[in-house]
Structure 1
Amino acid sequence: MKSDFHLMRFLRKNKSKIMAIVVVLIMAAFLVPQLLQRWSHPGIKPTAAIAHYGVKSFITNQDKEAARSELSMLQFMQADQFLRSRPAGGFMQQSPDVPALLLSHLLFPNPQFSPLIAQEVKRIARQGGLHATDGKIDEFFEQASQEKPELYWMLLRGEAREAGIAVSREQAGSLLKSMIPQFTQNQATAEQLIGAVVKQYNVEQDTALQVFADLLGIVQYMEMVTRNESITIDQLKYEVLAQSQTLDANAIIISADKLVDKAPQPTDAQVSELFSKYKDSAPMDFTTENPYGIGFKQPARVQVEYAMLNMSDVQKLIPQPTPEQTEEFYLKNLSQFKYQEPSDPNDPNSKQIEKTRSFAEVASDIAEQLQRNRVNERSQSILNEVREIADSNLITLDLDNAPLAEVAKMAGSYEAVAKVVAGKHNVRIATGKTGLVSASDIEQNQVLSRFYIPGQGQTQTRLSQIVFAVKDLDGIKLGPFAPVRQPRLFETVGPITDYMNQFSSIVRVIDAKKPQVAATLDLTIAKKLPVDSNGTITESNEVYVLKTVVLESAKKLAALPIAQQAAQALIKAVPEKGWDVALADLNKQFGSSKDPNSQTFTIQPLSGIRRISGQSVIMLKRQASEDPGRESWAGMYQQQKELVDKLYDIIPDNQSTATNLPQIVEQKAGMTFYVLKTLGQTLVTKEQFDQLKSQLAIMNDLVTSQSLGLDMLMPNHIIERLNFKWDEEMMNRPVQQPEVPMDEVI
């Protein structure tokens, strides 16, 4: 007891000293590990090289910090808007400059603008202003996220400087003077903006102008590199004729598929032989070895499970908005109902004044919108309930690595869950599982083809794109800005609503097969696709039978000699009997119609036919390969090109009509013979040619420049071109910080 008394007295007496010791020990606990780490991994100076590029160039931590500040400065000076609004030039003034758009994303990535930039670049490509597929454009945006914007800024600026490109500060200032009032709606001048930059970033005016001049140097360097391509005279001539020349014909079209009943039925041996010959070929892939485009290779297929809700059932559950609710929406959203009109109705160019539509004008529209929104919200809520219950056991599973059998076992049944939820809410929820279907099957199905998920801007992702992006297929990618991520087997997607607002659905892929060669002719697949029967979903009885597909091709091949014989008979009879009698005889001998008043073969007009370039076919093939369900489009285009090329070969460029008629033209890709009665074309005068030649030369140069710009700015290409490499050892070491004396810390 006595010793306890002395201890307490000691603690009270030495309280201040003890507290000081405790503080020192706590500080030591924090500082010693840091000191030990610094001794074992000494820091580097801010000016030490942490990366190298080019021949002798390097990057330091100090450079990185400066680059970040410069990009921030550029954004303050509206540089990102300058790049996004830069026109392509020439005859594409209404179209943005693709390299400038891409550069704006590299240097100033923005979650709001980047998806719109991707969408705009894809639009330009589809309209022929850029030679690139959606996949290549998506690849650019995916690669761009691998490094920080300041790295691309330093590398591209260094590359432009190395090439000797320099823009003066005076030029930069002059451009800023013209663009700043425009971008700020005359709310600021260049002088005011530069002054704000100087103050905020604590830099000299010349420094701020030099940073903008460096950006202009990169833009100039891109133009210099990408516009050195030239077009040959023959290419230019083809482009001029393709743009300005059209061809018209009258022909009798004799196709093999109209004569299959005249040909002998193929034997089982012939069918098997045809299958063996073309089982590795994709259909409608026309080559020299396979000019008819015959192919029986099986496309990628997926099996889709769905739970589909009829929106009309949900609508019955939702009361109509009251007049009070409608008016409340109107008052809270007045900006939606404002519009501009000329102050003088007789002068459309007079000053615009703002007006607001009255409540009476828009009341019915508001009520309809409110009702639609409520129905959509309730539909999503009901289907989300099905989804959550059905997927509840999958939450704890690693879907990427778990055995597929285990995932399938843990996945809840849509059918069982939907019955319970449908009864609870008094709605119809149709459930089902398709067979293994192709993307074309989904695109052609009256129900599934209507489903899509809207993205940012005007983008949308179709159901066929979503389900065929499933990881197990290793096929298409949805892209970095898709509204959904790449799905996995048994992973639910949705709810999604069809564009007719008739059904809402959740779906999941429960099986997937890559493109493959069928082992035998006996392949049969029940498609079991959903069918809309007056608002009720039923199951189709359509069946894919490979043997039937092969048999149809065999029949057409057997009918080809008969089609050729018919064409030859017609062309032989015309000089002797004239077209009317010769056609009557042709229909009598080869026609398949049982109606004597109906003719199988007639003279058909072919109007406004334009040339099709090989480049456009190649691009369409690439685009179709990334778009499930659209693969046949490229084949149809190639099919048409064969006919068009042969027609233009018959008539010289300087001749308005063909004289060597009638004539037979064989279109192997269509298994068809065309007997030409007349053939004419529009002629291009020398004046027209010279005028169009100049325009198309500029246009071609711009398209090539846009395309090369994408290649030049592809992030991986920048890294490789400049031989950029991080110094991993230096990157992992801390930057030296200024020493702080211990007495100041204490």
Structure 2
Amino acid sequence: MNLFKTLRKHQKWIIISVFIVVMITFIGGQALQALLTSRGPSNRVMATFGDGQKLRQIDIRSAYQQLEVLRQIGAERYLMSNDPIALLVGHILFENDRGFFLDAQFKRMIQQGQLMIKQEDLDKFFNRSNQEGPLYWILLLHEADKAGIAASRQDAIDVLRSNPTMFTPDGNASALVERVSSQLNISQQDIMEIFSRLLSIVSYVKTVTSNSNVTIPQIESQAGFAGTKLNAEYVRFGAESLRSEDEEVSEEVLQNQFAKYADIAQGNYTKENPYGFGYLLPDRVKLEYLLVNLSDIEAVIAAPTDNEMEEYYDINKSNFIDQQAAENEDTTALDKPVYKPYASVASEIRRMIIDQRKNELTSEIISEAQDLLSAKMEDKNVDEFTSEDYKEYAADYADTAAKLTEKFGVSFYTGTTGYLDGRRLMMDPNIGRLEVMITNVTSLPLARYVFSVEELGSVKLGIYEGQAPKLYQNIGPLSSRYARVTGMVRVVEALPSSTAESLGTEYSTKHTSLNSSSDSDSMYKVRETVLKDCQSLKAMEKAESAAKKLIAAGQDWQAALEEINKELDSSISISNFTDQDIASAGQLKRLKFRTSSMPGSSAFVNNATVEKAVQDSIAALEDSQPKAIEVKEDLAWYAVRDVSISKPLVTEYEDSKLQLAAAFEITSSLESALEFLTADNILSRANFEPIEEPKE
């Protein structure tokens, strides 16, 4: 049984209870006492938890009343102004609209490498209903009590007195409590008792999640890498540059290579697969697109006249204050504004007017495009549409483009891409960096959004990221800060990751095009990929021989390398690491978490994995004689000499260790708390078992 789903079944009863308690709050405390002692439906058992304790509707009502008391005295404000753990507790207990902003803040922390938690795990924390706070209040209090963690009434009083401005802006928390006591007809002692329960929950969560994953070796290792620099001279002999495209490989070798790595993703480096070979086909989408070049829109805009520019200057003069001139006149811009002369800002004004008109026309064009594309669906309930429904009522992009061109005099570009995986979509020259506007303040990278179609299931959108699109559903308008194009796309086919049937498997990877004359089709061919890998393995023999020959040549690497280049018909040169930062394992791990939510991001992780392997292999030769080494992750041999590593001073190391320890404590506790406080985990720990409501 999915506990989270079964909880939803009782949401009606919870809402009814909440409504009743809200009315009670206005009526007063005597009515509350009467209700709490009443019998009837309020005593119906909704669920069991813990060691068989019964949860009744009256318990939910009582919990809501306690949370309402806490809200009235500013306890919610107190939690939101406190540390991150208290903030999380406040979010799950109190109804509020801050979830969107919290979600966005945590996702930024993930993208910046400050939190090592997958985005889908973060989404689990926020995937809850606001009405469930009273239930979590009951269950978390039960947990805290079992753990023997309980704040006293005096603790509550001390917190209130020492942090008054965290409860109310005027800092008069005592007066606020007195006022709430009078309004709700509840004693101040009882208010402090309820507040102490909240402090018990916060203390319990902090105790359980504090420093749960941090170890001293982890801190010392990270501190040791901070400030460590690598210096070395090396020559890289990469298999890709030494591979002979004309070299024949037998069919048997190709088949064996393919069979060995057919169901492995490329870049999966292991002891059994040190080179990271892999031919597993990734998730792919085929897109239809309707695009317009923003420069084409600008071309049909009337240039502003001199009168229009001067009028714009007069109306928006406050935007052209000369701060420097005001300072030179020993006054402030507010006391006596000094404006930049019109002549000095005329070109800037011209650009502003053009951009404004371009944005207005672009909005009009997109609005018209959306109307045309949805014309067949006007009288339909699209909320219930399936992919087949969207396909049935889909408007033709080419016809739509023709109508838009006729009306606005701007060229539109339509077509269908090949099968694009996440990396290829992000590399598309026209739409790869575009985003989909979900709300007025929320946008998602196009790659993340289109790969959330249910046919793939590789991306699960969060509660604040909208609904996953259906096949043939129009997606857009597309935009970004530095976009060259805008328009709409739709997913017309989605293929989940699979094993290629044979070496002969191939498919189109054509991207979008704004130039029909260069609409060439590119292909991915499994046979070509396997052949290149086999040829690269053979080229590793050349790389090894060349690296060892260079080492044997002694000090004069330049002359020896010239001879090697002649033999190999190559142009390999000497390179250096100069004060190169050495990446730590923790940094690589953070990169994986940062990019885990984006389809195709494995390519970035693979590149970072190879770079770290190269650094580690060369750093291991510190103070040793020149040597030839193989870096299998890089499919290359290296000739290396003069390796040295500069490490931070002891004082710098100790300072770094202290800073990292503090940072690790905060982030590790936060990561643990986000998991600890998910709805499913709370219900599971409490042995929460709903009891089916009687049929009406």
Rounded to whole Å, the distance in 1 between the matches of 2:614 and 2:662 is: 30
1:266 matched to 2:249: yes
In structure 2, which of residues 457, 480, 488 is the aligned counterpart of residue 506 of structure 1? 488
- Alignment partner, residue 665 of structure 2: 701
Is the contact between residue 152 and residue 196 of structure 2 (CA under 8 Å) also seen in structure 1?
yes
Rounded to whole Å, the distance in 1 between the matches of 2:64 and 2:517 is: 57
1:419 matched to 2:402: yes
Deviation at 1:413, TM superposition (A): 0.7
SS at match of 1:175: helix
Is the contact between residue 440 and residue 630 of structure 1 (CA under 8 Å) also seen in structure 2?
yes
1:521 matched to 2:521: no
Larger deviation, residues 682-691 vs 70-79: 682-691
1:428 matched to 2:428: no
Deviation at 1:44, TM superposition (A): 2.6
- Letter of the 2:488 counterpart: I
Is the contact between residue 330 and residue 366 of structure 1 (CA under 8 Å) also seen in structure 2?
no
Deviation at 1:672, TM superposition (A): 1.1
1:251 matched to 2:234: yes
What do the CA deviations read for 1:654-682 (whole angstroms, capped 9, x no partner)?
Answer: xxxx1x21022211011111221111112
- Alignment partner, residue 446 of structure 1: 429
1:133 matched to 2:118: yes
- Alignment partner, residue 101 of structure 1: 87
TM-score (norm 2): 0.83
What do the CA deviations read for 1:457-507 (whole angstroms, capped 9, x no partner)?
Answer: 98641111111111211220221112x421000000112224335322011
Deviation at 1:423, TM superposition (A): 0.5
Is the contact between residue 257 and residue 534 of structure 2 (CA under 8 Å) also seen in structure 1?
yes
Task: State the superposition RMSD in angstroms.
Answer: 3.8
Rounded to whole Å, the distance in 2 between the matches of 1:324 and 1:109 is: 51
Rounded to whole Å, the distance in 2 between the matches of 1:478 and 1:263 is: 47
In structure 2, which of residues 581, 590, 601 is the aligned counterpart of residue 630 of structure 1? 601
Larger deviation, residues 661-670 vs 315-324: 315-324
Rounded to whole Å, the distance in 1 between the matches of 2:349 and 2:568 is: 63
- Alignment partner, residue 27 of structure 1: none
- Alignment partner, residue 75 of structure 1: 71
- Letter of the 1:116 counterpart: F
Deviation at 1:561, TM superposition (A): 0.9
Is the contact between residue 78 and residue 180 of structure 1 (CA under 8 Å) also seen in structure 2?
no
Larger deviation, residues 441-450 vs 235-244: 235-244
Q: Which ranges of structure 1 fall in alignment gaps of 5 or more residues?
A: 1-41, 88-96, 594-599, 652-657, 734-746
Change (3 A) 1:267 1:399: farther
In structure 2, which of residues 133, 142, 151 is the aligned counterpart of residue 167 of structure 1? 151
SS at match of 1:46: helix
Change (3 A) 1:645 1:580: closer
In structure 2, which of residues 56, 79, 101 is the aligned counterpart of residue 116 of structure 1? 101
- Alignment partner, residue 533 of structure 2: 553
- Letter of the 2:86 counterpart: A
Q: Which ranges of structure 2 fall in alignment gaps of 5 or more residues?
A: 1-37
Change (3 A) 1:198 1:367: farther
Deviation at 1:373, TM superposition (A): 5.0
Deviation at 1:355, TM superposition (A): 7.0
Whichever of the two has the greater Rg, that structure is 1
TM-score (norm 1): 0.78
Is the contact between residue 240 and residue 689 of structure 1 (CA under 8 Å) also seen in structure 2?
yes
- Alignment partner, residue 718 of structure 1: 682
What do the CA deviations read for 1:88-119 (whole angstroms, capped 9, x no partner)?
Answer: xxxxxxxxx2x3332222123433x2111011
SS at match of 1:52: strand
Is the contact between residue 437 and residue 477 of structure 2 (CA under 8 Å) also seen in structure 1?
no
SS at match of 1:450: coil
- Alignment partner, residue 664 of structure 1: 628
Change (3 A) 1:529 1:504: same
Q: What percentage of residue pairs aligned between the two structures are identical?
A: 26
Aligned pairs (5 A) from 1:132-531: 132-142=117-127, 144-145=128-129, 148-181=132-165, 184-185=168-169, 187-227=170-210, 229=212, 231-261=214-244, 264-315=247-298, 316-317=300-301, 322=308, 372=355, 375-394=358-377, 407-454=390-437, 460-482=443-465, 484-531=466-513
Change (3 A) 1:130 1:256: same
Deviation at 1:711, TM superposition (A): 1.7
Larger deviation, residues 121-130 vs 661-670: 121-130
- Alignment partner, residue 19 of structure 2: none
Is the contact between residue 530 and residue 540 of structure 1 (CA under 8 Å) also seen in structure 2?
no
Deviation at 1:190, TM superposition (A): 0.9
Rounded to whole Å, the distance in 2 between the matches of 1:361 and 1:43 is: 80
Deviation at 1:709, TM superposition (A): 1.2
Rounded to whole Å, the distance in 2 between the matches of 1:102 and 1:403 is: 36
Deviation at 1:608, TM superposition (A): 2.0
Aligned pairs (5 A) from 1:36-47: 44-47=40-43
Larger deviation, residues 362-371 vs 564-573: 362-371
- Letter of the 2:124 counterpart: E
Rounded to whole Å, the distance in 2 between the matches of 1:473 and 1:356 is: 62
Deviation at 1:182, TM superposition (A): 5.6
Aligned pairs (5 A) from 1:46-65: 46-65=42-61
Deviation at 1:726, TM superposition (A): 2.7
Deviation at 1:721, TM superposition (A): 0.5
Rounded to whole Å, the distance in 2 between the matches of 1:103 and 1:356 is: 50
SS at match of 2:260: helix
SS at match of 2:419: coil
What do the CA deviations read for 1:18-53 (whole angstroms, capped 9, x no partner)?
Answer: xxxxxxxxxxxxxxxxxxxxxxxx983534543322
Rounded to whole Å, the distance in 1 between the matches of 2:336 and 2:119 is: 42
SS at match of 2:226: helix
Is the contact between residue 289 and residue 512 of structure 2 (CA under 8 Å) also seen in structure 1?
no
Alignment length, in residue pairs? 652
Rounded to whole Å, the distance in 2 between the matches of 1:553 and 1:328 is: 67
In structure 1, which of residues 576, 584, 588 is the aligned counterpart of residue 566 of structure 2? 588
Deviation at 1:211, TM superposition (A): 2.4
Is the contact between residue 266 and residue 551 of structure 1 (CA under 8 Å) also seen in structure 2?
yes
Rounded to whole Å, the distance in 1 between the matches of 2:617 and 2:598 is: 30
Change (3 A) 1:727 1:338: farther
Is the contact between residue 320 and residue 340 of structure 2 (CA under 8 Å) also seen in structure 1?
no
- Letter of the 2:604 counterpart: W
Rounded to whole Å, the distance in 2 between the matches of 1:46 and 1:431 is: 61
Larger deviation, residues 703-712 vs 639-648: 639-648
Change (3 A) 1:498 1:709: closer
Rounded to whole Å, the distance in 2 between the matches of 1:153 and 1:688 is: 45
Deviation at 1:61, TM superposition (A): 2.3
Deviation at 1:164, TM superposition (A): 2.2
Change (3 A) 1:401 1:676: same
Rounded to whole Å, the distance in 2 between the matches of 1:383 and 1:696 is: 49
Change (3 A) 1:337 1:582: closer
Is the contact between residue 244 and residue 684 of structure 1 (CA under 8 Å) also seen in structure 2?
yes
- Letter of the 1:669 counterpart: E
In structure 2, which of residues 596, 606, 612 is the aligned counterpart of residue 641 of structure 1? 612
Is the contact between residue 338 and residue 354 of structure 1 (CA under 8 Å) also seen in structure 2?
no
- Alignment partner, residue 737 of structure 1: none
Larger deviation, residues 260-269 vs 204-213: 260-269
Is the contact between residue 450 and residue 499 of structure 1 (CA under 8 Å) also seen in structure 2?
no
Rounded to whole Å, the distance in 1 between the matches of 2:108 and 2:448 is: 18
